[in-house]
Structure 1
Amino acid sequence: MSMDKKLESINSKEVPNKEDSNVDNHSDDNTAVDINDEGFDLFKRGGMNDVVDEAESKRVARKLDYHLLPILFVLYGINYVDKASLGWAAVLGTFETDVHVDVGDRYSWASAIFYYGYLGAQYPASYCLQKFPVGKVIASTTIFWGILMLCHMACSSYGGILACRFLLGVSEAPISGGFILFLSQFYTRKEQVGRTMVFGSSQGVFYVIFGFISYGLGHVTDAKLSEWQLVFLVLGICSLLIGAAWFALIPDTPAKARFLTEEEKIIAVKRVSKNMMGMSTHNWDWSQTFECFRDPKTLFLAGFLIFTMIPNGGLTNFGNQVLAGIVHNRLESIVVGIGQSFFSSGQMLIYSTFSLKYNNFRTIGMSAPLLLAIAGLSAVYATEDHGAKWGRVFAYWMINSYAVTWPFALATFGSNFAGHTKRASMSMILLLAFSVGNIIGPFCFHSYDAPKYTSALATNLGCFCAAFVIAVLLRFYLKWENNRRDKKYGVVEMDGLDEDERLEGILNGMKDQTDISNKQFRYVL
C-alpha cells in the first residue's frame, strides 16, 4: 500500500490490518481496525511521521528526567529498604523476642512470607497495571505499603508479624513491573536502560542512608518505642510522603504531563513511537498472554531471576547475621554491611555509562557482574576457618555485585517484549520468578548452620553460576533470532528504514502487535 493511501486510511482513524497471529503469515488484507493507543492522536497531530529533531528530542528527554527521575529514584530506593527493614530490625534491640521469631525457622518464615504475598498478588497486580493508569497504581500501592510499615510497630506476636509481612508483599507487587511499563511510555529503548540503572542504583544509595539511620537508632536509649519500632516508623513515614508526592507530581502519560507544552507532548510521543511498542491501551488480550508463555525469552528471563533471587532472598534477610559471624558484633554488622552497597552502586554507575554508549549491553550487564559475585562468594566460602577478618568482609562486599544484574534484567524485558497485554503478562511472570527465588532463599539458611551458614553459601554459589550461563545463552538466542528475521524479512536498522517500512512498524506497535507479530521488530541484546 502506498504512503498516500496509508495516510488517508489513518486520517479517517483506520489503518490496514496486517497483523496475523504468526509472523510467518502476514496478509495484505485491507480490513480496517481502530487504533486505541493513547498516544496515537498526538502522533497523528504531529504529521504522521516519527521525524524529530535530535536537539529537540534531547531537550525533551532532559525535561522528562528533571521532573520524573528524582521521584522514581526515591520511591524505588524506599521500596528496596522496606524489604531490608526486617534484617535491620533483627539485629536491633529485642525484636526477635518481642515478636517471637527466635524459635526454630520462624525468622525464615517471617522473611519468606513477604514473597508469598508478592507471589499471590502478581496476577491482580499485572491486571491492574494493564487496566488502570500505571502511575496511579504505583502511587496507591506506595501509600498502602507505608501504612503497613507503620503497622509493624504494633506487632507483638508471631502471627501479627506474619500478617504484616504478607500484606506488605501484596502491596509491593506492582512496583518493579510498573516502573518498567511507566518508563516505556516516556523513553526510547536505548534510553530506558540508562534510566533503569539510575533508579536501580537507588537501592544501594538508600541502603547506605538507612543503614546509618538504623545504626543510629540502635543507640537510642530513652525513647518510648523500641529501636526496631523506630526503624519501621521512619520507613513508614517516608513511604507515605513519597507516595503522596507521586500522586501530586507524576503524570500517567506524556499527554497528561502538565510540565510539557503541546509541542513537547507531540515530540515525547514521536520519540517513543520508534520503540514499535505503542504507548498505552487498557484492553486485555488473552492471546498475547498465551504467546508470552510460549516465548523462549520468557523461559530465559524467568530462569535467570529465580537463580539470582535465591541468594537475594537469603542475603537480604540474613546478610547482617552472616556479617555478624565475620565481625563478631551484631550492631557493627549494620555499618560494615553498608560497604556492599557502595560496591554495587559504584558498579551501576560504571555499567550505566557503558549502557548509554553501547546499545547491545543489556545481557552483558546481566552476566559480567556475576563473575565478581562468584569470586567474592568463593572467597568467603573457602576462608571461613582461617581468612583475615577484613579480607573476608571485602570478599562479602563483592558478592553484592549480583545486585547490578537486576536493573539490566528489567531493561532487557522492557526493550524486548511488545504488545501491552504481553508486557503485563511478562511482568507478572518475571515477578513470580522473583518471588519464588526469594521464597526459597531464606530457607537455605538454617539455624543449626549459624553463624557461618556454610551450606547456604554453597547453594548461593551454584545459583550464581547457573544464572551466568542463562544470561550468556539469552544473548546468543536474541542474536540468532535477529539474524533469522533479517534473512527472512530483510535487515532492519531504524535509522536506515525507508519511510513506509518505519511507519508500518510504528503503527503495528500502536495497533498493539507483539514483538513476534511485528516483522519490523528487532531485539536488543
Structure 2
Amino acid sequence: MSEILKSAAKVNMSEESSDLKDQVSRVLSSADKENIKDENFDLFEEGGANDEVDQAESKRVARKFDYHMMWVLCVLYGINYVDKAALGWAVLLNFRSDLHLVGDDYSWVSSIFYFGYLGAQYPASYCLQRFPVGKVICISTFLWSIIMFGHIGCKNYAGILVCRFLLGVFEAPISGGFVLFTSLFYTRKEQVTRTMFWGSMQGIFYVIFSFVSYGLGYANNASLSEWQLVYLVLGLCSAIISIVWFFLVPDTPKNARFLTKEEKIIAIKRVSKNMMGTKTHDWKYQQMWDCLIDVKTWILIAFIVLSMIPNGGLTNFGTLVLSSIVHNTLQSIAVSVGSSFFSSGQMLIYSYFASKYDNLRTIGMSGPLLLAIAGLSAVYATEDHGGKWGRVFAYWMINSYAVTWPFCLSVLGSNYAGHTKRATMSMLLLIFFSVGNIVGPFCFQSSDAPKYTKALATILGCFCACFIIAVLFRYYLIFENNRRDKKYGKVDTKEDSVKREEKLSGIINGMKDQTDTENKNFRYVL
C-alpha cells in the first residue's frame, strides 16, 4: 500500500513540475532565457520554478541557515562595530597623551576613519557586485585585523591618522555586504528579523568589550599601554572570526555544504519570491542611473546624514560626555554599557514583532527616535541640576537612535531590486553615512568641553528632523504602491493570495535582474 502511495506521489509531483514548466514557458521566452545570467537560475528551473514552497520545508531550510551561519554573521558584525568604537575607550586610557594629541587632533583622528570609508565605497560596491559577497567580507575582515594590530605601533599623530584611514578603507564593504549577503539566503520578511539579529550585536558586543576595556584599564604593569592592549585583543578577535567565516560560511545557497540538493533548490525558490533574483556578476550603469533618479533614494540619504551626525559625535565623544556626569574616567566605561543594553534590547524586541507582523521597517526608523529625543532633552535640560543616575538613565535612552540603522539596511535589502541598483544604493547610503560621521565629531568643540552643550543641541535638532523624514518616507512608499496599483493593476503581496502565473512573472523579472521600478509586479514593503 505504501509503495502505491509513493508511486502516486511521484506521478503527482511529475505532473506538477510539467505544469509549472509550461507556466515558465508562457512568461519566459527563449531569448529572455538566454539573457538571464543569475547564477542560481539552473536550480530555480530544475525545481520546476515552483513559487509555492512548502512552508514547513522553507522554515526548516531557514533554520539551517540560522544554525550554521547566523552566529558567524552576528559575531563578525559585532566585532566590526567595536573595532570602530575602540577609539572611545582608548581616549580614556592615556591615548591622547601617548600620541601627543592636542586641540582638535582627536576630532580628526575620529573623522579620518570615515574619509577612508567614504573613498573606498565605489570599489567596495563594485567588488561586492562582481565577486562572491562572502569572500569580499572575509578578506576585508582579515585585512582590517592587520590594521588593528598596526594601531599598537603608532607613536604620533601622523601614524594614527594613517591607521584610522586604512581601517576605514578595509571596513567599507561590511555593512553593504551584510545586506546583500542576507538577501541571498532569506525572504524579505525574514530579512528584517535577521538584520535586527546581527544589527543588535553592535550593542551586545559594545557591552562585552566595554567590560574588557574596563579590565584592561587596570593592567598597569603590562609592557603595552592599556589602550594598546584593547587594540591587541580586538585585532586577535577580528583575525579569528575571518578564518572561521572562510571555512564555515558559503557564498550562496548553491555552495552550502550543509544543504542537500533538494534543500538547495528550496533555498533558491524561497528567495526568488523576493522578485530580486539571487546573484549576477554584471555591473549595469543604467541601474546606477535608475537609483540616482529614484525619489526614495534621496529620502533615505537625508535620513542617514542627519542620523549619522549624532552617531559620529556620540561614538567618539559619548564616553567623555558621560564622564562629565559620573565624574570618573574608568567608571564611565562601565556605566556606558547601559546605553548598549537599551539599544540592543530594543532591536531584539523589534525583531520579534517583525517576525509576527509585516510593514514595521519605517516604524522602526521613527519610533526609537522618540525615546532618543526624550532622553537627550532630559540630559540637556538638567545640565546644571538633577540627580546623577537620573541623568545617566536619560543618557542611556539617547542610544535608542542606534535601532534605526538596521531598519535602514533592511529597507535597502527589501525595497531595491536590480543587483547593480542595490549595490549602488548601498554605496550611496554608506557614502553619506561617512559624511555624517565625519561631520559629527566636529560638533564637539574643545572649547565646549566637558558638557558639550552646543553639540547636544545640534544632535537634538537632527533627531527631530529624522523623525519627520521617517514618517514622510512611510507615506511616500504607500503613495508609490497605490500609484503602481492604479497603473499596473493591484498586486496582493501576501504570498498565498497572488495568482500563480502573475507571481511567477514577477519572479522571472527578478531573475532577469529588473529593478524595482521596471518590475510591474514589485511592491514596496513598509
In the superposition, the TM-score normalised over structure 2's length comes to 0.94
Unaligned runs of 5+ in 2: 1-16
Q: Which amino acid is the alignment partner of residue 496 of structure 2?
A: D
Structure 2 CA distance for aligned equivalents of residues 394 and 188 of structure 1? 37
Residue 230 of structure 1 corresponds to 229
Q: Which runs of 5+ in 1 are unaligned?
A: 18-29
Name the CA shift for 1:32/1:226 in 2 (closer, same or farther; >3 Å): closer
Deviations 1:212-268 (A, max 9, x none): 000000001221111010000000000000011111110000000000000000000
The correspondence of residues 476-515 of structure 1 with structure 2, limited to 5 A, is: 476-493=475-492, 494-515=495-516
Alignment of 1:291-370 (within 5 A): 291-370=290-369
Q: Is the 8 A contact 1:15 1:35 kept in 2?
A: no
5 Å-filtered alignment, 1:17-56, equals 33-56=34-57
Letter in 2 for 1:155: C
The Cα shift of 1:8 comes to: 6.3
Q: Is the 8 A contact 2:24 2:504 kept in 1?
A: no
CA contact (8 A) 2:20 2:49 kept: no
Distance 2:510 2:312 in 1: 37
Partner of 1:69: 70
Between the two proteins, the alignment pairs up a number of residues equal to 508
Matched, 1:16 2:16: no
CA deviation profile, 1:107-143 (whole Å, cap 9, x unmatched): 0000000000000000000000000000000000000
Whether the 8 Å contact between 2:61 and 2:267 is mirrored in structure 1 is yes
**Aligned residues of 1:153 and 1:233 also touching (Cα < 8 A):** yes
Deviations 1:174-219 (A, max 9, x none): 0000000001010000000000000011011100000000000000
Separation in structure 2 between the aligned mates of residue 512 and residue 96 of structure 1, nearest angstrom: 50
Alignment root-mean-square deviation, CA: 1.7
Taking the TM superposition and a 5 Å limit, the aligned residue runs for 1:453-468 are 453-468=452-467
In 2, Cα distance between the equivalents of 1:16 and 1:55? 32
1:495 Cα deviation from its structure 2 partner: 2.3
Task: Give the superposition deviation at 1:433.
Answer: 1.1
Give the conservation status (yes or no) of the 8 Å contact 1:15–1:34: no
1:200 aligns with 2:199: yes
**Matches of 1:33 and 1:46, distance apart in 2:** 18
CA contact (8 A) 1:15 1:33 kept: no
Q: What SS does the aligned partner of 1:413 have?
A: helix
Give 1:300 deviation, angstroms: 1.0
Q: Which amino acid aligns with 2:261?
A: E
Q: Which residue does 1:471 correspond to in 2?
A: 470
Give, in angstroms, the shift of residue 16 of structure 1.
3.1
SS in 2 for 1:377: helix
Matches within 5 A, 1:32-431: 33-92=34-93, 94-101=94-101, 103-431=102-430
Distance apart, 1:11 and its partner CA: 7.3
Please tell me whether the aligned partners of residues 369 and 401 of structure 1 are also in contact (alpha carbons under 8 angstroms): yes
| Residues 371 and 397 in structure 2, CA contact (< 8 A), matched pair in contact too | yes
Counterpart-to-counterpart distance in 2, 1:293 and 1:140: 29
1:185 alignment partner, SS class: helix
> Are the aligned partners of 1:314 and 1:438 in contact in 2 as well (CA < 8 Å)?
yes
1: distance between equivalents of 2:353 and 2:439? 33
Q: Distance in 2 between matches of 1:324 and 1:510?
A: 54
Whether contact under 8 Å (2:88, 2:315) holds in the other structure is: yes
Aligned residue number for residue 12 of structure 2:
none
| Cα distance, 1:150–1:212 mapped onto 2, change above 3 Å | same
- Give 3-state SS (helix, strand or coil) of 2:185's partner: coil
1:339 is displaced (CA, Å) by: 0.6
Matched to 2:179, the amino acid is I
CA deviations over 1:27-82 (Å, ceiling 9, x no partner): xxx76642110121111111122121111111111011101110000000000000
Secondary structure, aligned partner of 1:258: coil
Task: Give yes or no for contact 1:416–1:524 (8 Å, CA) kept in 2.
Answer: yes
Q: Please tell me the residue identity of whatever aligns with 2:203.
A: G
**Contact 1:9 / 1:16 at 8 angstroms: preserved in 2?**
no
SS of residue in 1 equivalent to 2:151: helix
The residue type equivalent to 1:158 in the other structure is Y
- What letter is aligned with 2:119? G
Counterpart CA distance in 2 for 1:232 and 1:314 is 21
